[in-house]
């Protein structure tokens, strides 16, 4: 059976701009953002790529026509070969009727109700109904399929099935928490004996969305919601928790069964209503919101709020299930500081957070759902390296296009790791482009910027000269899995392959890797093995032999506001537009030509 999972709408950005006044990147931030496609053949995930990597529009919500075509082409399949198309939103007639009832019963004026119903009606008929999704598929691919070949998968179940499939398909408890699904923002339950059970008395509605509130705090602090929440998480590390947290006192209320309620859940203006409340609680004026001291204080309170609320949820889940493995998915699962605390302070023996935890993963999850909950091992290990790769001919063609600006040396593959390690032993920054593009929001070693974390100022060099972003931003170390426990306090985890957990750096190693330590002495760690990424593992071994430094600094190969590079041309363009010192493009070592006088 051949299944394509995909996420994205042709007219999504235009619709949300017209109906809800969304502008800029916000137009992509409501439904369909992180558009992508994933291909399953006979139950196995064989290809997946995010549309932004191909159309170069960050966070795009467009119909992923390029991604669909690439997935099929790389597997030697055609659109006509596809048995099912799986879409990770399911606004069924029954659910839609309930949502209409929610609007009608809300504490709004008659005029406000009619306005919401009008806009929701246009959204439903023009974008999210099954008829509209079928029409969009036909418009962008030219393929006219019968309605039963399009399977609409509830958004949270798509998140769940991405995590469940990539974690190995075993029985597991689950927590899904994100900004919004169709009507809810969070669910909990079990996958047991091939059956999904949602614990209905634990669900949280979208008007009480913790992730949306965290996103609005992100905007309030001057960052971009649904994109920059990790900046707030990073800022929180600059100070410790306070005994008096206004958010826990006045904004969120913990309830029975792991549920919670937000103070302004029913305000007509939505999460923007919190601006006035935050101003009042913190005694700030609008111009003071972006002052660093205030940003740190509110960021710490917001982070603690996330930690307290999700621990409350896990406490209720743990009391309800005897399963001790947990799959945690949804946008909130990208908060890696919280993930570690949840694991260490709960009775769960392991928490799995996938490389597709946020909305890129729902394309994988929707297709996995159609394949069914199968309690059997995958034929191949889970890997994030699912996107396009480029051979020597494609790389040399891209280099020749920029021959006026770059020069290159072809290395013997046997020498690649050693030559790169020699360069990294100095205070240099290297663009590293190898193999298939990673899937998800993190660069995991194939489209990465690498540097030596032994230099204390390497973070400042990369933030200011390369990434063009805020100086407080930390970077992640990549380390061989068997070496990780020697350097980091791993707790219950034995591996962290997707940068979804944070660990304290052991005191004796903090001076050795200052460039990879956050201000609070922690690191967001990526572990690798010879099986998961053999070339990067070889580079790490060689680098450690040369320098004695046990890890490399790894950050995404892009600049602020741009998607991670995908093609050789993307990599060369980014290299030329930054102060990256060297580019290792496949087996080619690339430098910049001195400008001619």
Q: Does pTM surpass 0.85?
A: yes
What is the pLDDT, as a whole number, of residue 567? 98
pLDDT of 504 above 60: yes
489 contacts 503 by C-beta, under 8 angstroms: yes
What is the pLDDT, as a whole number, of residue 268? 67
Six token digits for residue 295? 């940003």
How far is it, in rounded angstroms, from Cα 116 to Cα 110? 10
71 contacts 51 by C-beta, under 8 angstroms: no
What is the pLDDT, as a whole number, of residue 377? 56
pLDDT of 25 above 70: no
Q: What is the CA radius of gyration of the chain?
A: 24
Tokens 């990780």 belong to 484
**For 88-97, what is each residue's pLDDT tens digit?**
999 999 999 9
339 contacts 493 by C-beta, under 8 angstroms: no
Top-confidence range, 56-65, 283-292, 370-379: 56-65
Q: How many CA atoms lie within 13 A of 75 on its CB side?
A: 25
**What are 430's strand-pairing partners?**
450, 582
472 contacts 420 by C-beta, under 8 angstroms: no
Six token digits for residue 267? 């305000």
- Band (pLDDT 50/70/90 cuts) for residue 23 is low
Assign domain 176-353 to a CATH class: alpha beta
- Say if 2-167 and 392-592 have the same CATH topology: no
Residues 6+ apart with CB under 8 A from 199: 187, 188, 189, 190, 257, 317, 320
How far is it, in rounded angstroms, from Cα 546 to Cα 212? 46
Domain boundaries, given as residue ranges, for the chain: 2-167, 176-353, 392-592
Residue 356, helix vs strand vs coil: coil
CATH architecture of 2-167: 2-Layer Sandwich (3.30)
- Band (pLDDT 50/70/90 cuts) for residue 473 is confident
What is the pLDDT, as a whole number, of residue 471? 72
**Which phi and psi (to 5°) does residue 452 adopt?**
-90, 115
pLDDT of 75 above 80: yes
**For 137-165, what is each residue's pLDDT tens digit?**
999 999 999 999 999 999 999 999 999 99
Residue 203, helix vs strand vs coil: coil
Nearest to 12 by CA among 270, 510, 22: 22
Q: Which ranges of 357-510 would DSSP assign to H, the alpha helix?
A: 361-371, 392-401, 416-424, 458-461, 484-487, 507-510
Average pLDDT score over the chain: 93
How far is it, in rounded angstroms, from Cα 211 to Cα 224? 14
How far is it, in rounded angstroms, from Cα 495 to Cα 484? 8
Average pLDDT over residues 560-589: 96
**For 349-384, what is each residue's pLDDT tens digit?**
999 999 999 999 999 999 999 998 755 556 677 999
Six token digits for residue 220? 């309030």
C-alpha 149 chain-centroid distance: 29
How many CB atoms sit inside 10 A of residue 93's CB?
10
Assign domain 392-592 to a CATH class: alpha beta
Could you give the C-alpha distances from 37 to 71, 366, 487, 547, in angstroms and in order? 7, 10, 37, 41
């Amino acid at each position: 059976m051949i299944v394509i999972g995909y996420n994205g709408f042709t007219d999504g950005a235009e619709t949300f701009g017209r109906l809800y006044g969304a502008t800029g990147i916000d137009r992509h931030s409501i439904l369909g953002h992180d558009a992508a496609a994933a291909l399953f053949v006979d139950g196995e995930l064989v290809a997946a790529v995010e549309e932004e990597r191909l159309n170069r529009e960050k966070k795009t919500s467009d119909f992923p026509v390029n991604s669909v075509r690439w997935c099929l082409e790389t597997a030697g399949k055609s659109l006509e070969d596809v048995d099912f198309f799986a879409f990770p939103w399911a606004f069924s007639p029954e659910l839609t009727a309930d949502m209409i009832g929610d609007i009608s019963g809300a504490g709004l004026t008659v005029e406000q109700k009619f306005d919401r119903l009008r806009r929701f009606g246009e959204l439903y008929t023009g974008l999210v109904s099954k008829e509209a999704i079928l029409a969009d598929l036909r418009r962008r691919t030219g393929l006219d399929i019968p309605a039963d070949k399009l399977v609409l998968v509830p958004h949270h179940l798509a998140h769940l099935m991405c995590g469940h499939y990539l974690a190995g398909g075993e029985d597991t408890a689950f927590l899904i928490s994100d900004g919004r699904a169709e009507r809810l923002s969070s669910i909990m339950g079990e996958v047991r004996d091939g059956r999904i059970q949602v614990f209905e008395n634990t669900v949280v509605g979208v008007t009480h969305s913790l992730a949306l509130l965290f996103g609005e705090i992100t905007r309030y602090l001057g960052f971009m919601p649904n994109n920059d929440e990790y900046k707030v998480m990073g800022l929180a590390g600059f100070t410790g928790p306070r005994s008096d947290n206004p958010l826990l006192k006045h904004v969120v209320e913990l309830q029975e069964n792991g549920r919670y309620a937000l103070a302004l859940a029913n305000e007509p203006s939505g999460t923007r209503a919190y601006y006035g409340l935050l101003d009042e609680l913190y005694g700030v004026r609008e111009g003071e919101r972006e002052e660093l001291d205030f940003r740190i204080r509110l960021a710490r309170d917001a982070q603690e709020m996330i930690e307290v609320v999700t621990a409350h949820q896990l406490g209720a889940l743990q009391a309800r299930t005897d399963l001790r493995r947990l799959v945690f998915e949804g946008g909130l699962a990208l908060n890696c500081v919280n993930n570690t605390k949840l694991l260490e302070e709960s009775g769960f023996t392991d928490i799995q957070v996938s490389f597709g935890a946020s909305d890129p993963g729902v394309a994988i999850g929707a297709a996995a759902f159609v394949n069914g909950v199968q309690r059997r091992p995958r034929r191949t290990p889970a890997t994030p390296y699912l996107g396009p790769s480029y051979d020597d001919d494609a790389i040399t063609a891209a280099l020749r296009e920029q021959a006026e600006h770059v020069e290159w040396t072809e290395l013997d593959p046997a020498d690649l790791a050693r030559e790169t390690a020699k360069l990294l032993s100095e205070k240099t920054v290297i663009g590293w482009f190898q193999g298939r593009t990673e899937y998800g929001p993190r660069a995991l070693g194939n489209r990465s910027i690498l540097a030596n974390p032994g230099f204390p100022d390497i973070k400042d060099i990369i933030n200011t000269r390369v990434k063009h972003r805020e100086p407080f931003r930390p970077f992640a170390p990549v380390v061989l899995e068997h070496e990780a426990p020697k350097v980091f306090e791993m707790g219950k985890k034995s591996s962290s392959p997707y940068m979804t957990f944070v660990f304290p750096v052991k005191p004796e190693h903090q001076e050795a890797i200052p460039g990879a330590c956050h201000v609070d002495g922690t690191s967001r760690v990526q572990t690798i093995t010879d099986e998961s990424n053999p070339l990067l593992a070889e580079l790490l071994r060689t680098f450690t032999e040369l320098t004695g430094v046990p890890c490399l600094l790894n950050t995404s190969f892009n600049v602020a506001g741009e998607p991670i590079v995908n093609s050789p041309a993307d990599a060369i363009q980014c290299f030329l537009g930054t102060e990256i010192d060297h580019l290792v493009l496949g087996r080619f070592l690339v430098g910049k030509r001195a400008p001619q006088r």
